[in-house]
């Protein structure tokens, strides 16, 4: 799957991922009203609204981009109907040949992590059948519980040719509370980065590993260091746009081959129609605004990479 991701990034010339993190207040009124009319102001109604919203954005952007990243929290908040919308979104994006990164940030001990791995990127054995329950292509993971929380996922990756992005340095303001604590002369996130590199060596694709890392765009200096610590890890970079990161901050997340990083934008693309810059599209044409925002993001990053050459 890392080979597919790399190939798709090269083909689209777009090292970006669209975060499908729908909040109800991002969703245009006409979509909400239609969904509520059919299902009421219920979990089912909200789930229908986010699914229709996602579908239109995917329809208007799938040819530009290599991958999407649905954030499962935004679906879990609508209970079981929400999770059904998550699964519908995963399946629909895969039908459009997009790589799907399930932003699930799971992490637990051995057999429990194995259950998450089976559920999200593997197949579960039920009697004589093997069934893929959620079937994302990649998932994000939290490493706080250590190696035995990660290795069950690596085992499934090897078997199913799927991939991981492990939280190393996150984009949020208080990511430093524990990640930046100094262990001797090095911060915790560097130790996690070293582990990611080690885990990654055990399951390599052609040029990059199946085991990638999450490093926030909001910390470009740390990105530079971590790029060196994990040369074969794809870095998933959140924090572009709404969280403050810009193209020029991102150049050191990439390797000299122009690969090795994929930059996420969620709000900045899916709710672009709410920005002054894209207001001309109007709420009805929200997905055209998303397309324009994706094009601008691709150009911003390409320009920054070109300027850094």
What would the two tokens of residue 143 be? 């490493």
Q: How far apart are CA 289 and CA 227, in angstroms?
A: 33
137 with 205: CB under 8 angstroms? no
- Piece of 60-68, 137-145, 221-229, 283-291 that binds a copy of itself (CB under 8 A): 137-145
192: closest CA among 141, 138, 155?
141
Q: How far is the CB of 97 from a copy of itself (least distance, A)?
A: 22
- Piece of 34-42, 254-262, 276-284, 286-294 that binds a copy of itself (CB under 8 A): 34-42
Q: Other CB atoms closer than 10 Å to residue 307's CB: what's the count?
A: 10
| 87 vs 161, beta carbon nearer a copy of itself | 87
Give CA separation, 247 vs 31, 46, 65, 144, 195, in Å. 32, 34, 17, 30, 28
Q: How far apart are CA 192 and CA 41, in angstroms?
A: 44
Q: What angle do CA 122, 127, 132 make, to 5 degrees?
A: 20
Q: Which of 10, 112, 255, 275 binds a copy of itself (CB under 8 A)?
A: 112
Binding mask 232-251 for a copy of itself (x = CB under 8 A): --------------------
Residue 96 among the catalytic residues: no
Q: How far apart are CA 272 and CA 292, in angstroms?
A: 8
Catalytic residue among 88, 105, 248, 274: 105
The footprint of a copy of itself on residues 141-180 (CB under 8 A) is 142-149, 167, 170-179
| 120 vs 232, beta carbon nearer a copy of itself | 120
Q: How far is the CB of 121 from a copy of itself (least distance, A)?
A: 11
Q: Which of 43, 64, 302, 304 binds a copy of itself (CB under 8 A)?
A: 43
Q: Which of 53, 62, 92, 134 binds a copy of itself (CB under 8 A)?
A: 134
238: closest CA among 144, 170, 139, 164?
170
Q: How far apart are CA 83 and CA 47, in angstroms?
A: 8
Q: How far apart are CA 58 and CA 296, in angstroms?
A: 17
- Asked if 118 is part of the footprint of a copy of itself (rule: CB under 8 A), the reply reads yes
Q: How far is the CB of 21 from a copy of itself (least distance, A)?
A: 7
The footprint of a copy of itself on residues 176-195 (CB under 8 A) is 176-179, 181-184, 188, 191-192, 195
Q: Which of 15, 102, 119, 223 binds a copy of itself (CB under 8 A)?
A: 119
16 with 250: CB under 8 angstroms? no
The footprint of a copy of itself on residues 47-106 (CB under 8 A) is 71, 73-74, 76-80, 82-84, 87, 105-106
What residues are annotated to the active site?
105
């Amino acid at each position: 799957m890392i080979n597919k991701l790399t190939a798709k990034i090269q083909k689209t010339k777009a090292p970006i991922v669209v975060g499908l993190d729908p909040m109800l207040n991002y969703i245009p009124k006409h979509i909400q009203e239609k969904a509520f009319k059919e299902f009421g102001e219920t979990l089912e109604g909200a789930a229908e609204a986010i699914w229709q919203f996602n579908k239109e954005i995917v329809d208007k952007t799938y040819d530009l981009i290599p991958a999407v990243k649905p954030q499962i929290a935004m679906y879990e908040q609508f209970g079981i109907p929400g999770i059904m919308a998550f699964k519908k979104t995963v399946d629909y994006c895969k039908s459009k040949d997009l790589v799907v990164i399930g932003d699930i940030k799971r992490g637990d001990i051995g057999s429990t992590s194995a259950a998450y791995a089976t559920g999200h990127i593997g197949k579960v054995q039920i009697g004589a059948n093997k069934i893929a329950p959620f079937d994302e292509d990649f998932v994000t993971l939290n490493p706080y519980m250590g190696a035995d929380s990660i290795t069950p996922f690596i085992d499934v990756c090897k078997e199913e040719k799927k991939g991981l992005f492990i939280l190393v340095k996150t984009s949020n303001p208080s990511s430093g509370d524990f990640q930046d604590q100094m262990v001797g002369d090095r911060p915790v996130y560097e130790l996690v980065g070293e582990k990611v590199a080690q885990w990654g060596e055990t399951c390599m694709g052609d040029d990059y590993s199946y085991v990638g890392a999450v490093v926030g765009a909001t910390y470009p200096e740390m990105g530079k260091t971590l790029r060196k610590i994990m040369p074969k890890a794809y870095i998933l970079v959140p924090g572009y746009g709404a969280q403050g990161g810009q193209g020029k901050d991102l150049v050191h997340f990439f390797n000299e081959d122009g690969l090795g990083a994929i930059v996420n934008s969620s709000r900045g693309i899916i709710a672009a129609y709410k920005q002054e810059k894209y207001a001309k599209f109007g709420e009805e044409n929200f997905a055209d605004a998303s397309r324009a925002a994706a094009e601008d993001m691709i150009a911003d990053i390409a320009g920054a990479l070109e300027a850094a050459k």
